[in-house]
Structure 1
Amino acid sequence: MRAAKHMTGNLFLVGPMGAGKTTVGRALARHLQKTFIDADQELERHTGVRIPVIFELEGEEGFRRREADLLRELVSRRDIVLATGGGAVLREENRAALAANGIVIYLKASVDDLWARTRHDRNRPLLQTADPRAKLAELLQQRDPLYREIADIVVTSGQQSVHQVVREIEQKLAALAAAPTAHANTHG
């Protein structure tokens, strides 16, 4: 199974908002000469409106439904690096689609790092609360087991540079490819 997943060439980045999925994904795709896709940007392009507007008009459930429909289409592409939305793992169908169609890389970060990266971003509907840092901690606690459940590789995207994170991912991908029958998870 691992060998088949490796042949598709798809790499899917999961993790909380602010973990660096888009930044790392763009650099990783450029480095590996793959096509980069940001699921949230693609959803905005498909709908013609920003994500906060979707949340406002359809609620989180409406947004998650649209996200699931889009993910089904995106994971069928080949040779891509896909940065998923932070909550994409909430639906079982999304986790199954990601796990079955590529190598899943969990970009892990501390609440402090996530807060430092997202605190001024008004384009994050779930953080528009009285205590956004506490909300980040709550979301991370809820979602971390789901990220780990489908992750083939876990990489911390804390204080290191994007180049260092890409290099670590590349090393773990090489180790995964060298031992396709070994246990899938390569945690770091």
Structure 2
Amino acid sequence: MLFLVGFMASGKTTVGSQLASTLDRGFCDLDCKFEDMTQITIPTFFEKFGEKAFRDKESEILCDVINECSKKVFATGGGCVVREKNRVLLDGQHVIYLKVPFDVIYERLTTKNKRIRPLANTTSKEELHSLYEERQKWYNSVSTHCIECEDLNSNEIVRLILKELSH
């Protein structure tokens, strides 16, 4: 199993899909799995049930996929690392942190036609930056490898990940 972590809009889904294809493995975006299982979009789930209920279900899904012991590449949600339970579940797994500077993240989040993210749509730039900074310690604590993604395209990031995994 290989897990990609990082802040929202860091490219986990794009990179994860390419990485899985390169490694000839399956790919699973845990946010998509969440929506498939609940039959509701994440923004709607947040609106109806709140963040705590979302994090509860996210933890349940993470636990399920880890117990499957498949050889897939998984893209986690940006806040997956917030819960200690999830950090414990990720301990011992191959975890790649896609580290993207906040300014790049913010630009991606504010670009039109991007996926709706509940936390990004309800907080100011300053609050998002604070959230970004707060999560850095958790991304670093769970990751076995950190990839600095500034100014890199997804092909270059995949190549760096493969290089890291070969060591």
TM-score range, shorter chain: over 0.9
Identical columns (%): 38
TM-score by length of 2: 0.94
1:114 touches 1:136 (CA, 8 Å); kept in 2?
no
Q: Normalized against structure 1, the TM-score is what?
A: 0.84
Query: How far apart, CA to CA, are the structure 2 residues paired with 1:106 and 1:54?
Result: 26
Secondary structure (helix, strand or coil) at the match of 2:166 reads helix
Deviating runs (4+, > 3 A) in structure 1? Answer: none
Q: 1:38 to 1:130 in 2, by over 3 A?
A: closer
Alpha-carbon contact 1:43-1:67 (below 8 Å) kept: yes
Q: Who is 1:82 aligned against?
A: 74
In the other structure, the counterpart of 2:131 is: 139
CA contact (8 A) 1:127 1:135 kept: no
Aligned counterparts, 1:52-91, within 5 A: 52-77=43-68, 78-91=70-83
Report the CA distance between 1:116 and its aligned residue.
Answer: 1.5
Higher relative contact order (CA 8 A, sep 6+): 2
Gaps of 5+ in 1: 1-9, 176-188
For residue 37 of structure 1, the aligned residue among 28, 32, 50 is 28
**Match among 106, 113, 122 for residue 115 of structure 1:** 106
Relative distance call for 1:30 and 1:141 in structure 2 (3 A) is same
Map of 2:120 onto structure 1: 127
Number of residue pairs matched by the alignment: 164
Query: What are the ranges of 5 or more consecutive residues in structure 2 without an aligned counterpart?
Result: none
SS for the counterpart of 2:9 is: coil
